[in-house]
Amino acid sequence: MKKYIAFLFLTLLFSSCEKVVDVDLNNAAPKLVIDAIIKWQKGTTGEVQTIKLSLTNDFYTNDILPASGAIVTVINSGGTTFDFLEAVPNSGEYVCSNFLPAIDETYALTIQYEGQLYSASSKLYATPEIVNITQETVQGISGEDEIEIKYFFQDNGAEDNYYLLGVVNPNKQIPEFGVVSDEFFQGNLMFGFYGSSETEPGITLGLSVQGVSIGYYNYMNKLVTIAGSGSGNPFATPPATIRGNVVNETNAEDFPLGYFFLSEIDAIEYEVQ
């Protein structure tokens, strides 16, 4: 008998009387935020990749401060250097158009910014294909009908695996994520599960699965947990500092935020029936 594993996205909305209270907070020095997740979409060359750099901002603002003027490079184990250049001035988005992704290849990231040198390394992980998608209508928590989606992928029983699962719903402002391991499901057909009252016939969902390292699995698990207690956005500024795998070679105590990681990703657009 095949075993399955699922993850569930739940959004809770609380309302109450509110009173605006202004609290004076001391602003810490801005930290560099590094979004260096290289995703190689199955069936593509993966040549075009983007790394985003920004700075932390004041507590009461959601404005993103781009980190412009950095020197960003990625080097593979063979010594080939891939330059990530800021295509649009003051955007904080650094693009490489000739990247060469390879499964199990190891890559090293270096960033020079404002006199500081940052570095990290990671190998590129493989990802299984999404092999099937099913849809079912059930009675939701509110008593109303709710559409549930399952998308299946085959686990590799020869090794321990960790996965990041994602859903993009056009009726929601931000993507939703969950992490899962094959600890109790080695070699079985696994699935991602998505149910939401904001899923309706005719919309197109973006479904994805991504093989990840245990380090990135733990990192995302913490972010998703924090997001579930707040806005639901794992890429918003968390209420607690979560360290990534990038280190400051110039000043270890002035560590950056964010992560450097590479993997394949299988993403499918599914039209809800």
Residue 61: band (very low, low, confident or very high) from pLDDT cuts 50, 70, 90: low
| Virtual torsion, Cα 227, 228, 229, 232, nearest 10 deg | 50
Look at residue 86 and tell me whether its pLDDT is greater than 70: yes
pLDDT top residue among 206 and 140? 206
Taking residues 77-98, report their average pLDDT.
97
What does the mean pLDDT of the chain come to?
87
Sign of CA dihedral 168, 272, 13, 225: negative
Question: Do 234 and 242 touch, CB atoms closer than 8 A?
Answer: no
Structure tokens at 42: 């199955």
Please give the pLDDT value at position 240: 61
Look at residue 196 and tell me whether its pLDDT is greater than 50: yes
E strand or H helix that includes residue 207: strand 204-212
Residue 199: band (very low, low, confident or very high) from pLDDT cuts 50, 70, 90: very high
* All residues at 6 or more sequence positions from 260 whose CB lies less than 8 Å from its CB, including other chains: 34, 36, 37, 109, 120, 121, 122, 244, 245, 246
Nearest to 82 by CA among 102, 109, 106: 109
Structure tokens at 144: 């109303």
Look at residue 130 and tell me whether its pLDDT is greater than 50: yes
Look at residue 117 and tell me whether its pLDDT is greater than 80: yes
Look at residue 264 and tell me whether its pLDDT is greater than 80: yes
Give CA–CA dist 165/260, Å, rounded. Answer: 18
Please give the pLDDT value at position 16: 45
Taking residues 93-102, report their average pLDDT.
98
Please give the pLDDT value at position 57: 80
Phi-psi group of 37: left, alpha or beta (phi > 0 → left; psi -120 to 50 → alpha; rest → beta):
beta
Please give the pLDDT value at position 26: 54
Look at residue 157 and tell me whether its pLDDT is greater than 60: yes
Give CA–CA dist 269/267, Å, rounded. Answer: 7
CATH for the 130-229+267-271 domain, from 2.40.30, 1.10.3470, 1.20.120, 2.60.40? 2.60.40
Question: pLDDT digits over 15-47, tens only?
Answer: 445 555 555 555 668 999 999 999 999 999 999
Q: What is the DSSP letter of 59?
A: T
Please give the pLDDT value at position 180: 96
CB atoms within 10 A of CB 65: 15
Query: Percent of the chain at pLDDT above 70?
Result: 82
Phi-psi group of 183: left, alpha or beta (phi > 0 → left; psi -120 to 50 → alpha; rest → beta):
alpha
Query: Based on C-alpha coordinates, what's the Rg of the chain?
Result: 20
Q: Find the range with the poorest average confidence among 15-19, 146-150, 199-203.
A: 15-19
Sign of CA dihedral 228, 219, 233, 203: negative
Nearest to 265 by CA among 12, 37, 105: 37
For 181, phi then psi, to 5°, come to -120, 165
Domain 32-125+249-264 has CATH 2.40.50: no
Residue ranges matching CATH 2.60.40 in the chain: 32-125+249-264, 130-229+267-271
Please give the pLDDT value at position 219: 96
Question: pLDDT digits over 245-261, tens only?
Answer: 999 999 999 999 999 99
Question: Do 64 and 54 touch, CB atoms closer than 8 A?
Answer: yes
Residue 141: band (very low, low, confident or very high) from pLDDT cuts 50, 70, 90: confident
Please give the pLDDT value at position 20: 54
